Amino acid sequence: MSSFEKFKNQKLSYFYKRSNLICYLVIILIFWLDRISKIKIIDQQNNSLIYINDYINLDLTWNTGIGFGLLSESSNLFYNTITGLIGFVIAVLVYLILKAKLVDKIIYSFIVGGAVGNFYDRFVYASVPDFIDIHYKNFHWFTFNIADIFISFGIIMLIGVDLILKKK
């Protein structure tokens, strides 16, 4: 066996490690939860508000920016640049999943699963459907989706783990 074939087999076996396969499963599960929720809300919404209770509504909005509508811009160049940057960040996070310890792998998988869901929407719809509207009387938080929940949760976990480990 040539040295190239040994290198290739070693890299492939690393790619298919059990902990990495678990991470791929987490990413796929988050992606599909996000897709199903967005498909349901797009099909049933018809631009009307769905009242859940006094604090939560489902109200479809289309976001061309990044998380929570930040950096929304009408310029195609800006939109494409942001989309490319998001794709690059996803690639870096996938690389980190392959190299990290199990706890970090799972955290990165939450972020990647949500990011891939929103990244997919940027290509299919040229914007991201957000629909969860949390509010109190006239104060409304940013409208978000399931992918945003997992991205935010992953980032919070990443910061929390980092703070806990730095204390030790």
Strand-by-strand arrangement of the 139-140 sheet: 50-51, 56-63, 128-136, 139-140
Domain range list for the chain: 3-167
pLDDT at res. 11: 56
Dihedral sign of CA atoms 154, 156, 160, 166 in order = positive
The pLDDT tens digits of the residues spanning 60-72 come to 988 877 655 555 5
Which positions are catalytic?
130, 148
pLDDT at res. 110: 98
Residue labelled with tokens 């890299």:
11
pLDDT at res. 149: 96
pLDDT(152) > 90: yes
**8 A C-beta contact, residue 83 and residue 119:** yes
